[in-house]
């Protein structure tokens, strides 16, 4: 028995000795490594932490219209990040299940999907479980203090009115790269400066965390007027629904300054969902396309037709020919022309659009009738050298320099290639190509007194707190024609609308001038046309010029479709909004009062626009974008100029609970 006890004690002593020896050996080894390699390993650990720098994306600058109404804004959001390594290997299963359940409830995700992310990447330290959650959701996650879950600050771009002014604005893609429009052209001003969260060495050994806050981008203030843009897009939409064109476009400009007041194109897209066109197709069509077909269509839709597509201007070019010939004294206002319906040029017989002819006509009548034969007579007197020079003076064949990306320069005949036939067909706007922005810029020079202006879309750039950084002023590129020639053309272009081919552009009570255009596309005889109208008002002092284009309409036949009604619809709404008083004869009975409709549930923009057109004023009371109540109440008749009080809310659901209540004046 004693022997057994002694054996046990010996065995325990041996084990204890080995254990103590191992511990002493381990301590010696650690001390040796610390003494010999300590600095090296410590430096490696520090460097490893220094490689964990985190980027904090800046809030991208806002894009606003000329009245500082938001068009594109950025908000701080958060990406929810999982650390699967911690969740899978460093906490208990019970604790992990609690984290997963809490996170699933906050983010409205299934616990299974979160669990799968953990199990699929158990060694990962970074897995995004949900992007762009709002601040209130992020705060709930913070309050829970969930282990293995952290938040990454990010910035989310929001285009306030979806496809509104899409081609003008462009978009920011998922990789935060600015593409197309103002977003791309002014990216250096808009993108701001990224912040950093990174470790730093202190006294050569210790690591501390250093934060550099991001700097928000500047606010870009456009020349665009949100209300004018709205009316232009509305008129374009109505024309598209009626005529189903392949492409369509509208530009509105201040002819005196070169400021773009509105710019729209069809087909369009939603910058919030820039790579998804499903809402613009019948159900299921977009999803049925291959990836290559989708990409091809997207690249086409993203382009701004007003800048990046060239077309033959047709008869909208005829005012340029007359202006050049008058300026060069090649013709006079007293000249007469005889149109027999055709003219023989060299060996070719070129027809007027009116094949039976216009007969004898004055210069003014020739423009009003859009007579091809008269234009050919005029350009013969002008000559190829002067014709080409004025094409260049009016800005054709070169980019306008507008502050947007993707502008094309157009295609002109070289001067030496302007033989008799080419010169004759060019006189009525065929066999050469221009862009819409070139045409409206050159046309503005005809009606503004002769100055070719630099077109632009950005009025100024300001900091977040409103400090001005950059301002754009109107730039006269060159004088093209005299004031006298400009005055003659303005009068002639009014006759086009009152008595000529542009009658569909007449606006009751206002003096409107303009020119129609119909250009047959290549190959000739295919039945495909580009229809356009360019109009301005008022004639005596042009404040706005609008170009509308319909490319390959579905139901065009013998002039049955025109772009002039688009411009008329725009002018009917925009001229009163701009405060331009009627100056012509009107047959409309003068109204002394207006009956108020019910505006509840409508947006503030829609309501304000309608009230402005009706000749009324308004005052918004409260915060939000939806009209909850109004005073006076619906059905009340009020005098012109009355200020209507609009009580607004951010939550449209509130309207349903209060729509039966009436508003009484305090």
pLDDT per residue as tens digits for the range 73-93? 988 888 888 888 777 777 777
Residues 326 and 347 in one domain: yes
pLDDT digits (tens, 9 = 90+) for 192-210: 887 776 655 555 454 455 6
Residues 87 and 151 in one domain: yes
Is the pLDDT confidence value at 658 over 60?
no
What's the rounded mean pLDDT across residues 473-481? Answer: 97
Residues 564 and 614 in one domain: no
What is the DSSP-derived secondary structure letter of residue 646? E
Is the pLDDT confidence value at 392 over 70?
yes
Residues 123 and 2 in one domain: no
Inter-helix orientation angle 564-577/226-243, to 10°: 160
- 253 within some domain: no
- 47 within some domain: yes
Got the DSSP string for 274-331? Answer: TT--GGGSSTTHHHHS-HHHHHHHHHHHHS-HHHH--B--GGGGHHHHHHHHHHTTSS
Confidence band (pLDDT; 50, 70, 90) for 406?
very high
CATH number of the domain enclosing 135: 3.90.1310.10
Residues 37 and 63 in one domain: no
Q: How far apart are CA 375 and CA 9, in angstroms?
A: 124
| 244-253, 275-284, 562-571: least confidently modelled range | 275-284
Beta strands in 521-661 (DSSP E): 529-537, 544-551, 593-595, 617-621, 626-631, 637-639, 643-649
Residues 484 and 606 in one domain: no
Position 613 scores a pLDDT of: 60
Task: Tell me the pTM.
Answer: 0.78
pLDDT digits (tens, 9 = 90+) for 514-559: 999 988 888 887 788 999 999 999 999 999 999 999 999 876 654 4
> 81 vs 263, which has greater pLDDT?
263
Residues 207 and 320 in one domain: no
pLDDT digits (tens, 9 = 90+) for 410-419: 999 999 999 9
Q: How far apart are CA 66 and CA 16, in angstroms?
A: 86
> Number of structural domains, the chain?
4
Domain extent at residue 45: 1-51
Closest CA to 120 of 76, 68, 84: 84
Position 346 scores a pLDDT of: 84
- 635 within some domain: yes
Q: How far apart are CA 379 and CA 387, in angstroms?
A: 7
Inter-helix orientation angle 384-393/420-427, to 10°: 40
Confidence band (pLDDT; 50, 70, 90) for 48?
very low
> Last residue of a domain, which of 222, 256, 276?
222
- 256 within some domain: no
- 398 within some domain: yes
> Last residue of a domain, which of 202, 222, 242?
222
Residues 27 and 64 in one domain: no
CATH number of the domain enclosing 630: 3.30.10.20
CATH number of the domain enclosing 411: 3.40.710.10
What's the rounded mean pLDDT across residues 497-504? Answer: 89
pLDDT digits (tens, 9 = 90+) for 556-598: 654 456 899 999 999 999 999 999 988 855 443 444 577 888 8
Is the pLDDT confidence value at 50 over 50?
no
Task: Tell me which of 315, 370, 486, 532 is the catalytic residue.
Answer: 315
Residues 425 and 512 in one domain: yes
- 515 within some domain: yes
Q: What are phi and psi of 466, to 5 degrees?
A: 95, 5
Q: How far apart are CA 416 and CA 10, in angstroms?
A: 116
> Last residue of a domain, which of 553, 577, 601?
577
Q: How far apart are CA 194 and CA 186, in angstroms?
A: 17
For 348-366, letters b (16+ CB in 10 Å) and e give eebebbeeebbeebbbbbb
Q: How far is CA 154 from CA 70, 217, 239, 335, in A?
A: 20, 14, 41, 69
Residues 61 and 16 in one domain: no
Could you tell me if 333 and 309 are in contact, meaning their C-beta atoms sit under 8 angstroms apart? no
- 266 within some domain: no
Confidence band (pLDDT; 50, 70, 90) for 643?
confident
Position 361 scores a pLDDT of: 95
The first and second tokens of residue 661, run together, are 């209540």
The residue count of the chain comes to: 666
Inter-helix orientation angle 604-613/226-243, to 10°: 90
> How many CB atoms neighbour CB 642 within 10 A?
18
| 21-25, 215-219, 454-458, 542-546: least confidently modelled range | 21-25
Residues 604 and 561 in one domain: no
pLDDT digits (tens, 9 = 90+) for 114-160: 888 887 877 777 888 888 888 888 888 888 777 878 788 777 899 99
pLDDT digits (tens, 9 = 90+) for 442-456: 999 999 999 999 999
The first and second tokens of residue 657, run together, are 């609970």
Could you tell me if 220 and 62 are in contact, meaning their C-beta atoms sit under 8 angstroms apart? yes
What's the rounded mean pLDDT across residues 376-384? Answer: 96
| 61-65, 99-103, 480-484, 569-573: least confidently modelled range | 99-103
DSSP helix/strand/coil, 273: helix
- 234 within some domain: no
Active site residue 288: no
Residues 484 and 355 in one domain: yes
When the pLDDT of each residue in the chain is averaged and rounded to a whole number, the result is 86
Q: How far apart are CA 443 and CA 256, in angstroms?
A: 11
Q: How far apart are CA 226 and CA 169, in angstroms?
A: 13
Could you tell me if 159 and 168 are in contact, meaning their C-beta atoms sit under 8 angstroms apart? no
User: Angle at CA 340, nearest 5°, toward 336 and 342?
Assistant: 110
Confidence band (pLDDT; 50, 70, 90) for 662?
very low
Confidence band (pLDDT; 50, 70, 90) for 8?
low
pLDDT digits (tens, 9 = 90+) for 318-345: 999 999 999 999 999 999 999 999 999 9
> How many CB atoms neighbour CB 594 within 10 A?
18
């Amino acid at each position: 028995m004693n022997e057994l006890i002694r054996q046990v004690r010996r065995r325990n002593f041996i084990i204890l000795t080995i254990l103590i020896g191992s511990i002493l050996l381990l301590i010696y080894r650690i001390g040796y490594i610390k003494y010999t390699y300590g600095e090296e390993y410590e430096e490696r650990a520090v460097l490893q932490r220094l490689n964990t720098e985190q980027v904090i994306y800046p809030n991208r600058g806002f894009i606003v219209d000329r009245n500082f109404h938001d068009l594109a804004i950025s908000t701080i959001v958060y990406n929810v990040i999982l650390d699967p390594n911690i969740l899978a290997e460093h906490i208990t299963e019970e604790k992990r299940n609690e984290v997963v359940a809490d996170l699933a409830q906050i983010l409205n995700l299934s616990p299974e999907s979160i669990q799968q992310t953990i199990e699929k990447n158990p060694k990962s330290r970074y897995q995004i479980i949900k992007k762009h959650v709002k601040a209130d959701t992020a705060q709930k996650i913070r309050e829970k203090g969930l282990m293995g879950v952290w938040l990454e600050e990010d910035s989310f771009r929001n285009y306030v009115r979806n496809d509104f002014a899409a081609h003008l604005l462009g978009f920011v893609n998922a990789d935060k790269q600015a593409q197309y429009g103002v977003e791309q052209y002014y990216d250096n001003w808009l993108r701001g400066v990224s912040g950093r969260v990174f470790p730093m060495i202190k006294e050569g050994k210790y690591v501390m965390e250093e934060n550099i806050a991001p700097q928000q981008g500047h606010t870009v203030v456009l020349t665009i007027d949100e209300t004018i843009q709205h009316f232009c897009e509305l008129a374009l939409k109505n024309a598209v629904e009626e005529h189903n064109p392949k492409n369509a476009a509208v530009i509105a400009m201040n002819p005196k300054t070169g400021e773009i007041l509105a710019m729209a194109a069809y087909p369009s897209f939603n910058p919030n969902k820039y790579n998804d066109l499903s809402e613009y197709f019948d159900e299921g069509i977009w999803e049925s396309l291959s990836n290559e077909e989708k990409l091809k269509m997207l690249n086409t839709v993203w382009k701004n037709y007003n800048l990046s597509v060239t077309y033959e201007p047709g008869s909208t070019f005829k005012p340029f020919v007359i202006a050049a010939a008058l300026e060069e004294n090649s013709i006079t206002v007293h000249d007469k022309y005889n149109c027999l319906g055709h003219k023989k040029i060299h060996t070719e017989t070129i027809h007027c659009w009116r094949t039976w002819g216009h007969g004898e006509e004055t210069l003014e009548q020739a423009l009003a009738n859009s007579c091809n034969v008269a234009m050919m007579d005029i350009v013969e007197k002008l000559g190829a050298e002067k014709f080409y020079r004025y094409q260049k003076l009016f800005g054709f064949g070169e980019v306008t320099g507008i502050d947007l990306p993707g502008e094309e320069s157009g295609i002109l005949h070289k001067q030496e290639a302007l033989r008799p036939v080419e010169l004759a067909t060019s006189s009525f706007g065929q066999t050469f190509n221009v862009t819409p922005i070139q045409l409206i810029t050159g046309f503005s020079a005809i009606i503004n007194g002769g100055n070719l202006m630099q077109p632009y879309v950005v009025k100024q750039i300001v900091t977040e707190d409103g400090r001005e950084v950059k301002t754009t002023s109107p730039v006269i590129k060159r004088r093209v024609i005299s004031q006298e020639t400009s005055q003659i053309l303005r009068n002639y272009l009014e006759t086009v609308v009152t008595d000529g081919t542009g009658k569909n552009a007449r606006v009751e009570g206002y003096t409107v001038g303009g020119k129609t255009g119909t250009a047959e596309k290549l190959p000739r005889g295919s039945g495909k046309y580009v229809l356009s109208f360019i109009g301005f008002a008022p004639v005596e002092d042009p404040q706005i010029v609008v170009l509308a284009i319909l490319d390959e309409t579905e139901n065009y036949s013998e002039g049955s479709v025109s772009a002039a009604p688009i411009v008329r619809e725009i002018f009917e709404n925009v001229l009163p909004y701009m405060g331009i008083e009627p100056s012509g004869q009107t047959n409309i009975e003068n109204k002394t009062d207006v009956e108020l409709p019910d505006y509840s549930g409508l947006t503030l923009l829609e309501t304000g626009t309608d009230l402005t057109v009706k000749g009324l004023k308004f005052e918004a009371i409260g915060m939000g974008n939806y009209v909850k109540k109004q005073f006076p109440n619906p059905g009340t008749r009020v005098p012109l100029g009355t200020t209507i009080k609009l009580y607004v809310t951010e939550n449209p659901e509130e309207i349903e609970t209060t729509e039966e209540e009436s508003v009484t004046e305090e």
